Amino acid sequence: MDERDVREERTEQLIQVRRVTQLHAAWTETERGTPGAFTIQLILDNGAEEYVLRPTADDADVLLALWARSEGATFDLERKVLMFGKGKD
């Protein structure tokens, strides 16, 4: 690995806030007759990173509505904060 590759790798590691480029929601059955589990997979910067949220059903509903209404979102990997951009008019 040359010096340029090392610098690029260090820069990638320093980036803590990434743009959410895709969002995938899923529901998984845990046991028959019991509540399932929701997950929301965040694809960050076109696959540079990914993160999986495990929201409650109510939180998943709100997050998906915010995603649909926003112009975009970013995710702070260090603080675990999902931030939505300006809403669509």
Tens digit of each residue's pLDDT, the chain (89 residues): 788 887 777 766 666 899 999 999 999 998 898 889 999 999 999 999 999 999 999 999 999 999 999 999 999 998 899 999 986 55
Q: Who contacts 25 (Cβ-Cβ below 8 Å, separation ≥6)?
A: 38, 39, 40, 41, 60, 64
pLDDT at 71: 94
Domain extent for 18: 3-84
What is the per-residue pLDDT for 69?
94
Q: What is the pTM of this model?
A: 0.77
Strands 17-28 vs 37-44: parallel, antiparallel or unpaired = antiparallel
Backbone angles phi, psi at 33, to 5 degrees: 80, 0
In a domain, 58, yes or no: yes
* Spatial contact of 39 and 54, defined as CB atoms under 8 Å apart: yes
- How far apart (Å, rounded) are the C-alpha atoms in residues 60 and 64? 6
Cα(first)–Cα(last) distance of the chain, in Å?
Answer: 48
**89, part of any domain:** no
pLDDT recorded at residue 7: 75
Q: How many domains, the chain?
A: 1
Amino acid at 1: M
